[in-house]
Structure 1
Amino acid sequence: MNAPFIADRTFVNEDFTSSRLKKGDYENCVFEGCLFKEGYLDNQNFMECEFVNCDLTNSNIKHTIFKETSFKGCKLTGLRFEECNHLLLSIRFVDCNMTLTSFNGLALKGTFFSNCILQESDFTDSDLSFAQLPYCNLKKAIFENTVLHQTDFTESIEIDIDPALNQLKKTKFSKENVIGLLKKYDIVVT
């Protein structure tokens, strides 16, 4: 049985926690103010879709496709993006709370994260080359075996990255957040 194709539709203030979003291929759709908290978005296909002011906290996104999908003002706490379909993954985040979100092992080249809370998020084994993270809070974010070639952290805060455990090449930092690269050495900079 083929999943329905839903295009150019806007969903406003819908609660998908009690009645699940119909399985389908969603193209150029907007989800605004929708509640998916602890819900099921697994095996869905979102192409050129936009999530605005939605709560997806701890939602199941296994095998879901996010192609050219953006999240604005959303709560994405605890999402495990490594469980979604990696093949066409292209995502963008603006003003999102992404505390405890996991991107473990993902190719996120050129991904844009703006003004996001990424506290305790996991980027282990990910490729964040050319990614931009302006005005992001990275307190206790995990970077281990992460490729950070030409990644831009210049306006981010609370950075703690061990250069010995990650691949940094032409990675951009402000003078203020360079201290986060030296944290493991217990150096006092005045």
Structure 2
Amino acid sequence: MAKSYFSDLVFKRIESLENGDYENCRFVNCILPNCDLSGINFIECEFENCDFSTSKLYDTSFKTASFAKSKLVGLRFEDCNEFLFSIDFQDCNLNLSSFYQVNPQNLSFENCNLKEVDFTEAVLNEVSFDNCDLDSAIFKNTNLEKADLRTSYNFLIDPETNNIKESKFLLQDLPGLLHKYNIHIE
């Protein structure tokens, strides 16, 4: 069965999505929680004020996709097709999502809720976490080389089990890096 192809379209307030390839499309105010997005290709697509919480992402492609003001709770980005995986998030709720072993071509977070997000074994080189809440986010064997966490908060990152070479932090972030030593920094 041939896949449908959609190009240069705007989808507003839709509640279901046809399997296919979407190129240079915009999705606005779409309510698609628990949706099966398996095998769908999103190429240079924008999502604004959408809800994709707990949707299935098996072999879903995000090639230069951007999400703004969207709810993406409980998504498993490790199930996505990793070929040319490039995605950015602005003002999004990604709580309880997972980026386990993800190796993106490009990834950035701005003003996002990333509470209890799993970044275990992810390769997050040069990723920007700009003003993000990382409360209870999991960083284990994560490569954060040259990542920028200067404006983010509530994170606990163990420098002994994560690569933080040339990453950027603020002095006030020391407790989040030294928490396992149970020391008090004033």
Q: Which residue number corresponds to residue 136 of structure 1?
A: 132
Structure 2 equivalent of residue 3 of structure 1: 3
Alpha-carbon displacement from aligned partner over 1:90-133 (angstroms, at most 9, x marks no partner): 10110000001100001135411000000000000101110111
1:143-162 mapped onto 2 (5 Å cutoff): 143-162=139-158
Cα distance in 1 between the residues matched to 2:70 and 2:138: 21
Aligned residue pairs total 186
Letter in 2 for 1:170: E
- 1:159-178 aligned at under 5 Å gives the runs 159-178=155-174
Structure 1 length normalisation: TM-score?
0.96
Q: Secondary structure at the match of 2:128?
A: coil
Return the alpha-carbon distance in structure 1 between the equivalents of residues 170 and 48 of structure 2. 30
* Distance in 1 separating the partners of 2:25 and 2:60: 15
Distance 2:184 2:148 in 1: 25
Q: Percent identity?
A: 42
C-alpha distance after superposition, 1:30-65 (max 9, x if no partner) = 110001101111110100001100001000111111
Whole-Å Cα distance in 1 between the matches of residues 105 and 56 of structure 2? Answer: 24
In the superposition, relative to structure 1, how do residues 110 and 3 fare at CA in structure 2: closer, same or farther (>3 Å)? closer
Matched residue, 1:13: 13
Structure 2 counterpart of 1:14, which letter? I
For structure 2, the residue ranges without an aligned partner over 5 or more in a row are: none
Structure-2 residue corresponding to 1:77:
73
Give the AA of the match of 2:7.
A
Q: Counterparts in 2 of 1:61-76, with a 5 A limit?
A: 61-76=57-72
Unmatched segments (≥5 aa) in structure 1: none
Following TM superposition, the consecutive aligned residue runs of length 4 or more in structure 1 with deviations greater than 3 angstroms are none
Paired residue secondary structure (1:86): strand
Equivalent position amino acid for 1:46 in 2: F
State the alpha-carbon separation in 2 of the partners of residues 44 and 9 from structure 1.
Answer: 16
Q: Which residue identity lines up with residue 100 of structure 2 in the other structure?
A: N
> What residue number does 1:102 align with?
98
CA 1:34–1:152: 2 relative to 1, 3 Å: same
Aligned residue number for residue 184 of structure 2 = 188
Partner of 2:66, secondary structure, is strand
How many Å separate the matches in 2 of 1:85 and 1:133?
23
Aligned to 2:114, which of 111, 118, 131?
118
